Amino acid sequence: MMVGGADLSGGGAERFKALALPHLDDIYTLARYIMRSASDADDAVQECYLRAFRHFDTFRGGPIKPWLFAILRNVCHAAYAGNARLVFKAEEEVQAKPVWGEDGDTPEQAMLRRHDSDTMRRLIGELPAEFREVIVLREINDLSYRDIAIVIEAPIGTVMSRLARARGMLRAAWIAAEGGGVSP
C-alpha cells in the first residue's frame, strides 16, 4: 500500500482530496473554537489544507484526522504569534446554526436545547486555550486520548489531567451562567 503521497501531481491531489476533504467540517469546528472568529477560522483551515497537501508525503498512513488537526493547530498558533490582536479580539456573534431538534422534541424542548447548546458553545469558547482544545477534540470530535496526545504533542497523562480540569471549569462556568445545578 502506498503511504503518504510523494506524487503531488493530479493523481496525488485526488488522493489527498479523497482522504482529507471529508473532514473539513471537523477541522473547521476546531478552527472556530481556537480562533474564535469565523473569518480567521476560514483562513486557518485554508492554510491548513494547503500546508497538509504540500507535506502530504510526510503523512505516514493511519487515520488522517489527527494529522490534519495537528497541522491546523500549528497554523492557528502561528496566526496568533504573528497577530497578537487576535488574542484580545472579542468573540464574534455565533452565526452558523446547526440543525436542531431531536426526534420528539416539543418546540419548548427544542428551544431549551438550543439555548443550552448556545450557552455551552460560548462557555467552551471562554475556556483557556489549552483546555478548550482538549474539550473540542474529545467531546466534539470524539478523538481517543492517544490521538489527542498526538495532536497536542503531550503525554496521555497530560491529556487526561487537562480534560479533567477542563470539565471541572466547564461545570463551574455552567452553574454560574445558569444559576443552578447542572440538570439537562
Partner 1 sequence: MNCDEASVLMHALIDGELDAGHAREVEAHIVGCPDCAARLRELQDLRKLMTPANLRYAAPASLRARIEGKLPAPAAAVTSRRSVIKGFAFGAGASALAASGLLLMVMRGDEQKRILEEVVSAHLRSLQAQHLIDVQSSDQHTVKPWFNGRLDAAPPVADLTAQGFTLLGGRLDYVDAKPVAAIVYRRRVHIINLFCAPAPGSGHRGAVMESLHGFNVRRWSENGINLWAVSDINADELTEFGEKFEVALKQ
Q: Point out which residues bind partner 1 (CB under 8 A).
A: 8-14, 16-17, 21, 24-29, 32, 38, 41-42, 45-46, 49-50, 53, 62, 96, 98-100, 113-114, 116-117, 120-121, 124, 138-142, 144-146, 149-150, 155-157, 160-161, 163-164, 167, 170-171, 174, 182-184
Min separation Cβ 68 and partner 1, Å: 12
Closer to partner 1 by CB, 65 or 138: give it. 138
Nearest to 89 by CA among 36, 135, 52: 36
CA distance 163 to 138: 8
Amino acid of residue 176: A
Min separation Cβ 129 and partner 1, Å: 17
Min separation Cβ 50 and partner 1, Å: 6
CA 71 from centre of chain: 12
Min separation Cβ 156 and partner 1, Å: 7
Min separation Cβ 17 and partner 1, Å: 6
| Three-class DSSP category at 93 | coil
Closer to partner 1 by CB, 128 or 155: give it. 155
CA distance 91 to 46: 20
Closer to partner 1 by CB, 128 or 157: give it. 157
In order, the DSSP letters of 28-73 are: HHHHHHHH-SHHHHHHHHHHHHHHHHHTGGG--SS-SHHHHHHHHH
